[in-house]
Amino acid sequence: MKNVLMTASVLAFAAGSAVAGGIERSTQSTAILFENADNYLEFNFGAVNPSVSGTAIPALGGFGSGDMAGNYKSLSFGYKKALTDKLDLAIIYDQPLGADVNYAAGTNYVIQGSTAEIKSDSLTALMRYKMPQNVSLIGGVRALRTSGVADLNVFVPGIGPTPYALQSTKETDFGYVLGVAWEKPEIAARVSLTYNSAITHNFTALSESSLVPGADDQFETEVPQSVNLDFQTGIAANTLLFGSVRWVDWSAFKLDPKGYSATYGDPLVYYDNDVVTYSLGLGRKFNENWSGAIMYGYEKSAGDPTGNLGPTDGFKSYGIAATYTQENVKITGGVRYVDIGDATTRVYNSSFTDNKGWGAGIRIGYSF
């Protein structure tokens, strides 16, 4: 029972985050360390389809933006090995950060034709040391590679549309992971607290085109620190309650290429507030082969104006997942609907309302 329910509790999140705080696309989970096998391999694939559109104020024509949030896919995999009866090792690859922005041309919206993209790849090595009293210590190192491009049509009152373009270098830098966990196996209970350090990238603008040239082509970006609190416990026969609280220091993040800020005054991307995301779910084992889970996610709307490249503010989400287990193989599929919070953008005061997103994912796990 425990193994199946733990899988259901983790995989209810497999559909991915259609819209989360900042540019986040994964939660940097350490759950693979708790798989009950000497050797465990898993593969995850997700697809997300957000729909985000808004309307300009009458003074700027009142035109609609069209859907500006591109669909995207995510890929991750992990391997866990028990080195001894007290020490486990895990290697995880994921794509934790990303953005796909596309304001279609021809809409007459205030920044029509603007596009931007952020890509990332991360490789994390984790270790778990089992201590007495069912306490575990977790630690590891994360390598993160990130790059971005932008091709914007920025409207300046009194001047009109102005072009801006940027292509950054691909930068690889390192951070660390520290955590602690406690378990009570007889009731499938576990609580884990994990800290992910900030990672600082020093980008070079391979090319930057703006009305006012920047002082130099170097700019520093801090991928923010975060804290995850994950929990689960059996509440009845074959039934598991699970959830998480995740805090990310997004107020420390900014993309500030010199040419952009010299021309328009503000960084290209920045956030006014940190973000806390909550999840709560229920897992149930139906028989020896099948189990399932439902979950609810919540991220509070801050109410402050947002950037024009990310015009969303909080969300509510509803997800469902099912797991099929056959001998050493576990296959889980999940789907999630996201009710995206309304937002008003900086500078232009455009209104983005009634937006939504869908995500679906699959995980294949193999124990040996």
**What tens digit of pLDDT does each residue of 146-173 get?**
999 999 999 998 888 999 999 999 999 9
pLDDT digit string, tens, across residues 308-333? 999 999 999 999 999 999 999 999 99
62 sits in the region (left: phi over 0; alpha: psi -120 to 50; else beta) called left
3-state SS class at 279: strand
Q: Any alpha helices (H) in 203-340, and if so which ranges?
A: 258-264
Q: How far apart are CA 288 and CA 67, in angstroms?
A: 44
pLDDT band at 27 (very low <50, low <70, confident <90, very high): confident
CA distances to 27, 149, 171, 216, 360 from 174, rounded to whole Å, are 17, 22, 10, 25, 30
Residue 15, pLDDT above cutoff 60: no
Residue 12, pLDDT above cutoff 50: no
Top pLDDT among 90 and 16 is at 90
Q: How far apart are CA 285 and CA 53, in angstroms?
A: 40
Average pLDDT, the chain: 92
Give the model's pLDDT for residue 225.
Answer: 98
Q: How far apart are CA 179 and CA 228, in angstroms?
A: 9
Q: How far apart are CA 298 and CA 26, in angstroms?
A: 15
> Tokens 């220091």 identify what position?
249
Mean pLDDT value across residues 246-260: 95
Mean pLDDT value across residues 177-198: 96
Tokens of 6: 């733990």
Residues 6+ apart with CB under 8 A from 315: 18, 19, 20, 297, 298, 299, 338, 339, 340, 341
Give the model's pLDDT for residue 80.
Answer: 98
3-state SS class at 255: strand
Residue 65 contacts residue 350 (beta carbons within 8 Å) = yes
pLDDT band at 20 (very low <50, low <70, confident <90, very high): low
CA distances to 4, 154, 321 from 285, rounded to whole Å, are 7, 53, 12
Nearest to 49 by CA among 67, 64, 66, 65: 67
Residues 6+ apart with CB under 8 A from 274: 247, 248, 249, 250, 251
CA distances to 24, 135, 198, 203 from 225, rounded to whole Å, are 12, 24, 4, 19
pLDDT band at 17 (very low <50, low <70, confident <90, very high): low
Give the model's pLDDT for residue 211.
Answer: 86
Q: Any alpha helices (H) in 218-307, and if so which ranges?
A: 258-264
Q: How far apart are CA 270 and CA 310, in angstroms?
A: 10
Give the model's pLDDT for residue 19.
Answer: 59
Give the model's pLDDT for residue 102.
Answer: 97
pLDDT digit string, tens, across residues 217-239? 899 999 999 999 999 999 999 99
Q: How far apart are CA 325 and CA 359, in angstroms?
A: 23
Q: How far apart are CA 256 and CA 220, in angstroms?
A: 7
Q: Give percent of the chain with pLDDT exceeding 70.
A: 95
Q: What is the DSSP letter of 271?
A: -
CA 285 to chain centre: 28
Residue 77, pLDDT above cutoff 80: yes
Mean pLDDT value across residues 126-152: 97
Top pLDDT among 121 and 212 is at 121
| Planar angle of CA 46, 51, 55, nearest 5 degrees | 160
Mean pLDDT value across residues 47-60: 95
Residue 21, pLDDT above cutoff 80: no
Mean pLDDT value across residues 113-138: 97
